[in-house]
């Protein structure tokens, strides 16, 4: 599943030196995509191996000059797991801070620029990786330059995301998201900043996780989000993304807890990823029947005037706390994306939710859950009533075989949504950016700014 959420799906490496003729050609950027995160694995930049990570800088050519742009290198250990520098379970990589083949360079496509002439490159570099980005839809291009230095200049001062562990809050350029104090596995606050198309008003009641089942012993089982334990044990807090690792458990039957699950939530300036993982140590039908498993996010009833869309309901329905005929007739079948969008002045921002799972390995399917009725009580909840409570049922859990089902929910922010615009975010995964990297070895000649 992790392979599905990698933008760098097609990377060509040219091991020859970058010719001076090619490097001295000035080409302006034509790239219009601005929402994609870009990932480049260390093994795809072999000429950078062994360089000190804290001596790397990323540049882009904007206007008439090279400027530093935000980036980070997230290290992985020999087993491929993230190295977390912060938190109670922080750890360190065995390479002592040197760039190696399983480390990951991360930046945003929006920060790319033109292809600038070598004579204008930042001076004092040792090795340069010229990284070319191409949109497979229209062939548009942009470039960034990863440079290593013996004496590195100052990096970019842009910080797109910040994590505050004391309050379990993520402050991103386009949104603020906080975890619920009584149900720390899920959202307790979600607002859009002005950059995200909002006024920083909290419009989310809470994330709701509701599980009901009948057992073969005639016992009814009910679990909800406050019955989970979730503790942040380690995190990465870089200028481009936050990776927050949590340890989660739930008592499933009687006093028998589920095995603890380590989940990594990832946050960018305009998006975040939430995994849902269901692990069963036995076949479902051994013990349970008639399962209902729902995950949804309830909106605040005070904030009316938003619209709901998804791929099977493209005309949209008004969220106002009163169920309309159109809402009663929604197609509630399996879906891949949905949007909740604002229409009010100053609050036209939207959230697109995309679901990722592998249908070839499980019979479980997400189907639409939608409720818009202020009089519907659905405790536990902070504000009574369901006003645009949207999410999914997991259908087929009672037929799950022993093992693990994983679904990744990705939330993307629009600053001003109009129907049809969802394609720009769907393309992040459906039509990923193509990447080519070229090495430039130090010739011993110092270039000038």
pLDDT tens profile 285-328: 777 788 899 999 998 888 788 999 999 999 999 999 999 999 99
Give the position of tokens 């034509």: 30
What's the CATH number where 219 sits? 2.70.98
Instruction: Kindly list the distances between the CA atom of residue 279 and the CA atoms of 208, 276, 364, in Å, as whole numbers in the listed order.
Output: 19, 10, 13
Does 417 share its domain with 435?
no
Does 369 share its domain with 436?
no
Does 102 share its domain with 45?
yes
Cα end-to-end distance, the chain, whole Å: 43
Does 120 share its domain with 191?
no
Give the position of tokens 């249908």: 359
- pLDDT, one tens digit per residue, over 185-230 is 999 999 999 999 999 999 999 999 998 988 888 888 889 999 988 9
Does 303 share its domain with 343?
yes
d(CA 61, CA 52): 24
**What's the pLDDT score for residue 359?**
87
Per the domain annotation, does 448 fall within a domain? Answer: no
Does 167 share its domain with 132?
no
**What's the pLDDT score for residue 333?**
95
**What's the pLDDT score for residue 446?**
38
Does 153 share its domain with 230?
no
Does 295 share its domain with 425?
yes
Helices (H), 194-337: 325-328
Residue 142 main-chain phi, psi, to 5 deg:
-155, 170
Per the domain annotation, does 325 fall within a domain? Answer: yes
**What's the pLDDT score for residue 251?**
60
**What's the pLDDT score for residue 12?**
39
At 24 the three-state DSSP class reads coil
Per the domain annotation, does 64 fall within a domain? Answer: yes
d(CA 174, CA 286): 46
- pLDDT, one tens digit per residue, over 361-399 is 888 899 999 999 999 999 999 999 999 999 999 998 888
Closest to 306 (Cα-Cα) out of 324, 321, 323, 319? 319
Give the CA dihedral 424, 172, 154, 53, nearest 10 degrees: -80
Instruction: Kindly list the distances between the CA atom of residue 49 and the CA atoms of 44, 53, 242, 428, in Å, as whole numbers in the listed order.
Output: 10, 10, 24, 28
d(CA 143, CA 28): 9
Does 289 share its domain with 174?
yes
The encoded tokens of residue 291 equal 């399962």
**What's the pLDDT score for residue 21?**
45
Does 128 share its domain with 231?
no
Total tally of structural domains belonging to the chain: 2
Does 166 share its domain with 153?
no
d(CA 397, CA 400): 5
Per the domain annotation, does 419 fall within a domain? Answer: yes
| Three-state secondary structure of 141-178 | EEEEEEEEECCCCCCCCCCCEEEECCCCEEEECCEEEE
The encoded tokens of residue 18 equal 């970058």
Predicted TM-score (pTM) of this structure:
0.91
At 120 the three-state DSSP class reads helix
At 60 the three-state DSSP class reads strand
Instruction: Kindly list the distances between the CA atom of residue 96 and the CA atoms of 52, 53, 83, 91, 323, in Å, as whole numbers in the listed order.
Output: 9, 10, 12, 11, 59
Per the domain annotation, does 354 fall within a domain? Answer: yes
Residue 16 domain boundaries:
2-158+431-441
d(CA 374, CA 267): 31
49: CB partners within 8 A, 6+ apart: 42, 99, 100, 101
Per the domain annotation, does 446 fall within a domain? Answer: no
Beta carbons within 10 angstroms of residue 449's beta carbon: 11
Edge-to-edge strands of the sheet including 288-299?
A: 220-224, 204-215, 288-299, 386-395, 365-373
Per the domain annotation, does 230 fall within a domain? Answer: yes
Per the domain annotation, does 103 fall within a domain? Answer: yes
Residues lower than pLDDT 70 in the chain:
1-24, 251-260, 442-449
Does 344 share its domain with 367?
yes
> Percent of the chain scored above 90 by pLDDT?
69
- Contact status, residue 366 vs residue 391, Cβ threshold 8 Å: no
**What's the pLDDT score for residue 4?**
40
Give the position of tokens 């809470």: 206
């Amino acid at each position: 599943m992790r392979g599905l959420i990698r933008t760098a799906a097609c990377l060509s490496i040219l091991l020859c030196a970058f010719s001076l003729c090619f490097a001295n050609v000035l080409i302006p950027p034509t790239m219009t995509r601005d929402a994609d995160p870009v990932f480049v694995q260390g093994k795809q930049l072999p000429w950078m191996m062994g360089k000190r990570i804290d001596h790397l800088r990323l540049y882009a050519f904007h206007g008439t000059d090279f400027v530093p742009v935000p980036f980070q290198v997230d290290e992985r250990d020999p087993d491929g797991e993230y190295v977390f520098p912060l938190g109670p379970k922080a750890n360190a990589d065995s390479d002592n801070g040197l760039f190696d083949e399983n480390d990951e360079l991360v930046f945003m496509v929006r920060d790319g620029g033109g292809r600038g002439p070598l004579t204008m490159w930042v001076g004092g570099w040792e090795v340069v990786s010229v990284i070319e980005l191409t949109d497979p839809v229209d062939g548009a291009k942009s470039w960034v330059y990863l440079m290593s230095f013996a004496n590195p200049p100052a990096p970019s001062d842009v910080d797109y995301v910040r994590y505050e562990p004391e309050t379990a809050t993520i402050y991103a350029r386009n949104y603020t998201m906080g975890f619920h104090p009584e149900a720390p596995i899920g959202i307790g606050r979600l607002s859009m900043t002005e950059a995200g198309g909002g006024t920083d008003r909290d419009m989310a009641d809470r994330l709701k996780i509701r599980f009901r089942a009948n057992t073969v012993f005639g016992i009814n089982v009910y679990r909800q989000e406050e019955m989970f334990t979730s503790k942040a044990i380690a995190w990465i807090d870089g200028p481009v993304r936050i990776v927050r690792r949590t340890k989660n458990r739930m008592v499933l039957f009687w006093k028998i807890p589920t095995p603890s699950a380590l989940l990594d939530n990832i946050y960018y300036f305009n998006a975040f990823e939430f995994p849902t993982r269901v692990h069963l140590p036995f076949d479902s039908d051994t013990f349970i029947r008639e399962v209902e498993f729902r995950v949804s996010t309830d909106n605040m009833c005070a904030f009316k005037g938003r619209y709901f869309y998804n791929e099977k309901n493209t005309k949209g329905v008004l969220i106002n706390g009163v169920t309309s005929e159109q809402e009663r007739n929604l197609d509630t079948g399996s879906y891949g994306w949905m949007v909740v969008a604002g229409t009010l002045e100053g609050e036209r921002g939207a959230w697109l939710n995309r679901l990722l799972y592998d249908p070839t390995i499980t019979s479980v399917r997400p189907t639409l859950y939608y409720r818009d009725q202020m009089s519907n009580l659905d405790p536990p909840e902070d504000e009574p009533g369901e006003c645009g409570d949207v999410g999914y049922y997991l259908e087929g859990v009672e037929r799950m075989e022993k093992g693990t089902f994983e679904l990744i929910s990705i939330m993307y922010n629009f600053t001003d949504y109009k129907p049809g615009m969802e394609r720009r975010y769907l393309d992040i995964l459906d039509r990923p950016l193509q990447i080519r990297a070229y090495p430039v070895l130090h010739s011993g000649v110092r270039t000038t700014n």
